[in-house]
Structure formats: structure tokens, C-alpha cells
């Protein structure tokens, strides 16, 4: 207990200790280790050349877009398991109006984002109103959305795949944002970086960012100090749905086709990346930068295994093991950050 | 303070004939209490006496079933804790509205962040916030080593002080402290008690809820004693000794049990750190029931 101006117990904290208390430390260290590992093991077989780097960057980028939004939501204390289904749904909302009804692609993209905002709003509102865990609420939306996508697509088109968008997409001004490369780097990488920068800025530099931490840490306490808890939650759920739609637009417009099964299990991958990135499952702690590195670890392992020539069936083993290590490490960090002196 | 001197000032809070029922349960019945600015009102009572219900009603969590609350002479109705906060009633709960994983600064300004800039580019002015936190905590005699450190790294007393300093900084007129010292050791409790005295000197009205007469007695100006949902009345400090306060809290009949408790108090006051916990355990073990 310090009661005097000069605190005799104030000691110099080493930069190492300070670094240890950053949420993204684990993911950054993990990313470096994974990179070194594959650079050594698979450096000769293409992991390090330009095409190789682009391949794992693109995988990381697409997941990273989801992971950044998932991380914000997790810091706000909630999960969105419907992200994967939202990808499939958004893909169809873009593809069907264009392929079946001759809509311009930009209009279909805007419609998809509008639908995403609505679904995010619904998820958030249901969580707010029922006070049920978002795990359950969005587990329900996972199935409802996927089912609706499959049902409606088959009803309208008679199939579960819609293709033939490529030419229309390439001529469309808005769709250009989701197609191709800039300086040889896929646009998804730019989306990833831009979203991560925006998310980090919101989280660390704005009032709503402070609210996100507050809502995740203790919603009642936050509410009592005047934080609009319900609005924050709804905005975060809208964020994950929009991220899923960006992911869907990138895939659908690039391939020129949509499939009702797109995005299966992506919700888990996004949560894994966020957790590797230092987000606590209990909320109130984490970072968007961490999620970026979490996604990077994910992409490097997924593509790295391919370059090593090991059967890619083993990827999921790595994934599960990484998740476990990340959670154990995060718990250790949290204890360090909160242990009372 | 004499009775006539008090009468010249307007009370900050006046609670008149307040009752709160939960279904068939009478949690509070006809409680009347007046708190003046620059005064510490100690709310005493054993478990289940209605202390929590009374302060929850005051802080906007519950609506009174009957009776009236006036703030500075105006009758008020609170629909939420936010309303009470806006009216200048700040409550520091046993479970602090403090997030251990967040920094001192971020906690301090939660929901009321100072901003800089314009429109969509308005940012949380962290530099200003950190300076302010350092200054405010300094006023309480706590040197915040690093305002960006997680609150979880602070001691219990320091956390209480963060919560209290925040309430004072944001212009609270009435500070309700719900068992702020119950989980603290003697030295930590002293820091909180000293700050209560400072808040009082600034002209705030303080409602201090506690089990621990030894924490209450040094800072209190008046005592309101609750028992089984009813008020025993309000007493000036000059009218009561410590022992009388204790006796009224527990109800008089269990004097034997209390004597043992008082011995326990005095003994543990000396060796520091365990007083509140020990006394509670003793009370429970001896089965003192009203």
C-alpha cells in the first residue's frame, strides 16, 4: 500500500515484462517461430519465393478479415458462430440477383451488405433481449442461415451452386474492389491490413473502443457508468456479419461462382485466430493486431504443410494443438496481468 | 456539530418513510434518513438488515414501493443507476465497477471518456486522461506508478480508491460506499477511510455502509442503524459509544456473543489485516441471529 508521494515499492519494470503483458505477444512470437520453421523445412520447395509468400498471405488475409471482426466481438464478450453461414448466405445474395435476375453486380453487393447489417442487428438484438449466451444464439443462427441459404437457393435456381458471374464482375466498378491483385498482391491482403488498422484504431484510440473493453469485462458495470452496452454489442455483431460478407465478396467475385457450402467452419477458424492472437474467451481483453498475427500463423501453417510435402490431412492436428497452446499461454499472460501486488 | 447548526443547512438527501417490498417480503419498512453535505452517515446493520436494499434504492437499482427520496429538496425518481449517477449519487459497490484487466486510466474514464478532434475522427484523449488520473490519485495520496497498468495489479485498497476518486472527479454530491473496507486489511482500510474524510471535507455527503464499527466510528458523524428492514433511528456520534453501536446492530439480547466478538475485534485490531473477516466468522459461528 503506497500512501506517500514517492513510492518505495515502485521498481523499474523491465521492457521484457512490459512486453509480456501485451495480448498480441503470443501470436507475434508464434508467427515468427512458424515462419522460421517452414522457412527452414520448406524454404527450398517454394515457401519463401514470391508465389509461395503470396499463397500463404492470401489464406491469412481472408481468414484475417474474419478474425479481426471476431476479435473485436470477443473482446466485447461475445461469439459469432454464424459467421461461416453468413459467408454462404452473402455469397448467394450477391450471386443470385446477378445470375438469375440480371441485377448489376454493385447493387447485389450493396444488397449483401444490407442483409449482413440486418443479420448482425438481429443477432445482437436477440443476445441483448434474451440475455442468453451468444454462443447459443449464434449457434442457432448458424443453422438457420445455412438452411435458409440452401433452401432458398435450391428453390430459386434448382441447384446449390450459382456460376457465371465472372464477366459481369470484371466489368463492375464496385466489384473491382474485390477482384485481382495490386502490385502482384491479392486485394484481400489490402482489405486485411486496412480492416486491422481501422479495428486497432477504434479499439485503442476512440471512445467506442474503450466501451468494447468495458462491455466485455463487466457489462453491468459498463452500463452503470453510461456505456450504451446494447448498441455496442449490436455494432460488434454487425461487424462480424460485414466481415463475413467481405470474405464472401472476395471469393464469389474472384471465382465468379457461389456455393451454398462456402464458409463452413470459418467461424471456428476465425475464433481460433483471435484466440491465438490473445483474445480471452471471457472477454474484456485482446487485440486486433493479435488476430492479424493469429491469422498469419494459421495461413503459414496451412500452406506451409503443403510446401513441406507432408499430407495436408495433418493440418487439423496442428490447428488443434496450436489452439491449446495459445489458450494455455493466454491464461498465463492473464495471470501475470492481473496478479495483485 | 450542534442540532441548530445542522438545521440551518439544507439536507442533500432526505429519505422519508421509505419501504421496499419484494413480493411478500418486506425488505424495508418506513425508513427515514437525512444526510447533510460534508457529513458521513454510517449505515449499520447485520446481514439481512436492509442496508443493501436501501442503497440500491438510493442508487437507482430498485424503485421504492412507498415513500420518497429528495435530493437537495427536490423529489426524485430513478429509473436506472444512470439516472442516480446523473443526479450526483455515485455508488461504489462491494463488487467494484472496475475491470481488472483494463488500465487504471481506461477504467477511470469508462463511459465518460474525454475526446479530442472532430466528427468520425474524434479520439479518446489518453494523454489528458492519464495526466488527470495521476493527479486525482495523487490527491488521495496514491502514486499511480503507471496509469496504463492493469487495475488487476493494484491492491484492494487502491482499487477502492480508484473507484472513489472517479466518483468524486465526475462531480458526485453523494458518495455511497457499500462495504468499501470489508475485504481490506487494516492499513489498506486506513487509506480508504482517510479518503472518506477528504471527500467529506470537500462537502460531499457520504453514506458509508459497513459491518465494521471500528472502521465506521472514526469517520462517522451520524449513524443510522437498520435491523430487519426497520430503522432504529439516526444518532449523532456524540450520543453513542462504539459499544452501544455494536449492541444496537446485533440487537441487545446476544450480549454474550457480542462480548466474545468485541474481544475478537480488539485482539485482531492489534495484529492487523484480519479484523473484518475474523469478526464475521465469529458472528456466524456463534449463530447470532436477530
DSSP class of residue B115 equals E
Query: Which pLDDT belongs to residue B288?
Result: 43
Res A94: pLDDT: 93
Separation in Å, CA of B124 to nearest CA in chain A:
5
Q: How confident is the model at residue B286 (pLDDT cuts 50, 70, 90)?
A: very low
Q: Which chain B residues are within 8 Å of A4, Cβ to Cβ?
A: 141, 143
In B113-142, the residues whose Cβ lies within 8 Å of chain A are: 113, 115, 122-124, 126, 138, 141-142
Of the candidates A13, A209, A214, which has its C-beta nearest B111's C-beta?
A: A214
- Interchain proximity A334–B109, CB inside 8 Å: no
Instruction: Write down the pLDDT at residue B277.
Output: 45
Q: Which CATH entry fits the domain spanning B1-88+173-240: 3.40.50.300, 2.40.50.140, 3.30.930.10, 3.40.50.720? A: 3.40.50.300
Could you give phi then psi for residue A110, rounded to 5 degrees? -60, -40
Query: Would you state the pLDDT for residue A3?
Result: 39
For chain A, the domains span 27-328
What confidence tier does A339 reach under pLDDT thresholds 50, 70, 90? low
A197-254 pLDDT per residue, tens: 999 999 999 999 999 999 998 888 888 778 899 999 999 999 999 999 999 999 999 8
CB-nearest to B150 from A223, A227, A338 is A338
Q: Greater confidence, B213 or A139?
A: A139
Q: Between A333 and A226, name the one with better pLDDT.
A: A226
Which of B97, B98, B150 faces A337 most closely, judged by CB atoms?
B150
Q: Which fold has domain A27-328?
A: ABC transporter involved in vitamin B12 uptake, BtuC (1.10.3470)
Q: What is the pLDDT of residues A4-63, one digit of tens each?
A: 334 444 455 566 666 666 777 778 888 888 889 888 888 788 888 888 899 999 999 999
Instruction: Name which of B82, B102, B115 is nearest A207 (Cβ-Cβ).
Output: B115
Q: Pick the closest to residue B102 from B76, B129, B84 (CA basis).
A: B129
Residue B281: its pLDDT value, please?
A: 43
Rounded average pLDDT over A260-268: 90
Q: B124 and A207: CB-CB below 8 Å?
A: yes
C-alpha cell recorded at residue B51: 442496508
Average pLDDT over residues A301-306: 86
User: Are A227 and B111 in contact (CB < 8 Å)?
Assistant: yes
Taking alpha carbons only, the member of B135, B189, B106, B146 closest to residue A10 is B146
Q: In the A/B pair of chains, how many CB contacts fall below 8 A? A: 108
Query: Which carries the bigger pLDDT value, residue B67 or residue B187?
Result: B67
d(CA A218, nearest CA chain B) in Å = 7
How far apart (Å, rounded) are the C-alpha atoms in residues A190 and B250? 69
Closest by CA position to B93, among listed B193, B198, B163: B163
Question: Nearest CA of chain A to the CA of B128: how many Å?
Answer: 13
pLDDT at residue A20, as a whole number: 64
B229-284 residue pLDDT tens: 788 778 887 777 777 777 776 655 555 666 677 777 777 665 544 444 444 444 44
Between A91 and B186, the higher pLDDT residue: A91
Mean pLDDT of A328-334: 75
Q: What is the pLDDT of residues A26-37, one digit of tens each?
A: 788 888 888 898
Q: Is B207 helix (H, G, I), strand (E, B) or coil?
A: strand
- Cβ proximity of B287 and B281 under 8 Å: no
The minimal CB distance from A224 to the residues B81, B99, B124 is found for B81
Tell which of B87, B101, B106 to mutate to test the A interface (max A CBs under 10 Å).
B101
Q: Do A225 and B110 lie within an 8 Å CB cutoff?
A: yes
Residue-wise pLDDT tens digits, A81-128: 999 999 999 999 999 999 888 889 999 999 999 999 999 999 999 999
Residues of B within 8 A of A206 (CB-CB) are 122-124
Q: Hey, where are the domains in chain B?
A: 1-88+173-240, 101-171
Say how many CA atoms lie within 13 Å of B200 toward its Cβ. 21
What SS3 class is residue B231? strand
Across the interface, whether the CB atoms of B99 and A1 are under 8 A apart is answered: no
Residue B287 scores a pLDDT above 70: no
pLDDT at residue A283 in the model: 87
User: What does the pLDDT average to over B211-220?
Assistant: 80
Please tell me the distance from the alpha carbon of residue B224 to that of residue B213, in angstroms, as a whole number: 12
Taking CA atoms, A19 is separated from A14, A134, A135, A177, A336, in Å, by 9, 32, 32, 37, 11
- The answer to whether residue A341 scores a pLDDT higher than 50 is no
Average pLDDT over residues B159-168: 83
Cβ–Cβ contact B97 with A under 8 A: yes
Residue pLDDT, tens place only, B19-46: 888 888 888 888 888 888 888 988 887 7
Most confident region among A114-123, B3-12, B92-101 by mean pLDDT: A114-123
Residue to mutate among B96, B100, B194, with most A CBs inside 10 A, is B100
Separation of first and last alpha carbons in chain B: 33
What percentage of chain B has pLDDT greater than the value 90?
Answer: 0
Under 8 Å between Cβ of B35 and B12: yes
pLDDT confidence of residue A83: 95
Q: Tell me the CA end-to-end span of chain A in Å, nearest whole number.
A: 9
> Which residues have CB under 8 Å from A56's CB, separation 6+?
A47, A299, A300, A302, A303, A304
Question: Can you give the pLDDT at residue B283?
Answer: 44
Amino acid at each position: 500500500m503506497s500512501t506517500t508521494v514517492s513510492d518505495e515499492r515502485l521498481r523499474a519494470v523491465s521492457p521484457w515484462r512490459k512486453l509480456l503483458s501485451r495480448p498480441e505477444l503470443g501470436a507475434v512470437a508464434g508467427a515468427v517461430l512458424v515462419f522460421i520453421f517452414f522457412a527452414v523445412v520448406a524454404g527450398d520447395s517454394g515457401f519463401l519465393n514470391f508465389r509461395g509468400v503470396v499463397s500463404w498471405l492470401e489464406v491469412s488475409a481472408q481468414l484475417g478479415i474474419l478474425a479481426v471482426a471476431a476479435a473485436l466481438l470477443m473482446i466485447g464478450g461475445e461469439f459469432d458462430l454464424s459467421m461461416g453461414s453468413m459467408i454462404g448466405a452473402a455469397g448467394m445474395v450477391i450471386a443470385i440477383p446477378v445470375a438469375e435476375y440480371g441485377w448489376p453486380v454493385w447493387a447485389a453487393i450493396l444488397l449483401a451488405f444490407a442483409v449482413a447489417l440486418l443479420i448482425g442487428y438481429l443477432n445482437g438484438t436477440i443476445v441483448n433481449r434474451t440475455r442468453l449466451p451468444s454462443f447459443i444464439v449464434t449457434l442457432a443462427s448458424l443453422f438457420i442461415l445455412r438452411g435458409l441459404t440452401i433452401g432458398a437457393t435450391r428453390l430459386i435456381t434448382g441447384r446449390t451452386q450459382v456460376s457465371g458471374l465472372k464477366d459481369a464482375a470484371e466489368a463492375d466498378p464496385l466489384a473491382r474492389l474485390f477482384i485481382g491483385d495490386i502490385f502482384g498482391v491479392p486485394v484481400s491482403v489490402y482489405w486485411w491490413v486496412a480492416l486491422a488498422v481501422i479495428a486497432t484504431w477504434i479499439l485503442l484510440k476512440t471512445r467506442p473502443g474503450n466501451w468494447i473493453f468495458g462491455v466485455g469485462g463487466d457489462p453491468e458495470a459498463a452500463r452503470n457508468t453510461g456505456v450504451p452496452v446494447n448498441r455496442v454489442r449490436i455494432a460488434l455483431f454487425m461487424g462480424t456479419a460485414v466481415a463475413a460478407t467481405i470474405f464472401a465478396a472476395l471469393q464469389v467475385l474472384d471465382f465468379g461462382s457461389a456455393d451454398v457450402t462456402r464458409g463452413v467452419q470459418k467461424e471456428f477458424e476465425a475464433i481460433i485466430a483471435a484466440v491465438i492472437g490473445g483474445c480471452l474467451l471471457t472477454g474484456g481483453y485482446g487485440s486486433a493486431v493479435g488476430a492479424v498475427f493469429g491469422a498469419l500463423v494459421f495461413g503459414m501453417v496451412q500452406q506451409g504443410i503443403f510446401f513441406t510435402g507432408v499430407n495436408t490431412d495433418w493440418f487439423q492436428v496442428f490447428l488443434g494443438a496450436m489452439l491449446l497452446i495459445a489458450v494455455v499461454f493466454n491464461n498465463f499472460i492473464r495471470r501475470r496481468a492481473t496478479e495483485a501486488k | 456539530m450542534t442540532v441548530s447548526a445542522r438545521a440551518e443547512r439544507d439536507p442533500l438527501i432526505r429519505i422519508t418513510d421509505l419501504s421496499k417490498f419484494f413480493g411478500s417480503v418486506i425488505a424495508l419498512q418506513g425508513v427515514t434518513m437525512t444526510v447533510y453535505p460534508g457529513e458521513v452517515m454510517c449505515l449499520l446493520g447485520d446481514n439481512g438488515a436492509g442496508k443493501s436494499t436501501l442503497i440500491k434504492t438510493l442508487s437507482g437499482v430498485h424503485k421504492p414501493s412507498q415513500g420518497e427520496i429528495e435530493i437537495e429538496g427536490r423529489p426524485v425518481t430513478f429509473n436506472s443507476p444512470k439516472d442516480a449517477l446523473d443526479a450526483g449519487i455515485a455508488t461504489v459497490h462491494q463488487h467494484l465497477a472496475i475491470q481488472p484487466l483494463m488500465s487504471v486510466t481506461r477504467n477511470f474514464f469508462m463511459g465518460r471518456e474525454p475526446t479530442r478532434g472532430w466528427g468520425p475522427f474524434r479520439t479518446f484523449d489518453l494523454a489528458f486522461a492519464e495526466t488527470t488520473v495521476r493527479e486525482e490519485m495523487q490527491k488521495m495520496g496514491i502514486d499511480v506508478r503507471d496509469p496504463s497498468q492493469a487495475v488487476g495489479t493494484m491492491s484492494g485498497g487502491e482499487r477502492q480508491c480508484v473507484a472513489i476518486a472517479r466518483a468524486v472527479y465526475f462531480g458526485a454530491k453523494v458518495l455511497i460506499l457499500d462495504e468499501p473496507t470489508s475485504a481490506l486489511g487494516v492499513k489498506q482500510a486506513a487509506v480508504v477511510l482517510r479518503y472518506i474524510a477528504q471527500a467529506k471535507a470537500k462537502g460531499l455527503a457520504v453514506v458509508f455502509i459497513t459491518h465494521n464499527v471500528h472502521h465506521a466510528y472514526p469517520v462517522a458523524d451520524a449513524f443510522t442503524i437498520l435491523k430487519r428492514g426497520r430503522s432504529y433511528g439516526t444518532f449523532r456520534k456524540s450520543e453513542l459509544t462504539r459499544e452501544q453501536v455494536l449492541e444496537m446492530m446485533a440487537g441487545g439480547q446476544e450480549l454474550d456473543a457480542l462480548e466474545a466478538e468485541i474481544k475478537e475485534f480488539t485482539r485482531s485490531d492489534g495484529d492487523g489485516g484480519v479484523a473484518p473477516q475474523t469478526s464475521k466468522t465469529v458472528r456466524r459461528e456463534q449463530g447470532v441471529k436477530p
